[in-house]
Amino acid sequence: IFPKWNLLAAQEETTPEQIAGEDPCVTSVWRWDSQAQQWNGWFPGEAGVLASDLHTLAVGEAYWLYCDEGGTP
């Protein structure tokens, strides 16, 4: 994962928490829901629990991840 925005496709079902656990630079994960015409997002930490409406990353779906400086290329 590189600093700033990354567009990734999930290779296996996972959660945003698992991704952030592997690379703590991840500060948000986003998915466009074309059917509902809205963004779903995930944010880390206690405050993120209330604000997050993205809980599972499905295989083959595309996700935007934001990574603060650092990352694991």
Q: What is the pLDDT along the chain (73 residues), one digit of tens a residue?
A: 888 999 999 999 999 999 989 888 999 999 999 999 999 999 988 766 778 999 999 999 999 999 987 655 5
- Whole-prediction pTM value? 0.85
What lies within 8 Å, CB to CB, of 3 at 6+ separation is 25, 67, 68, 69, 70, 71
Number of neighbours of residue 31 by Cβ within 10 angstroms: 21
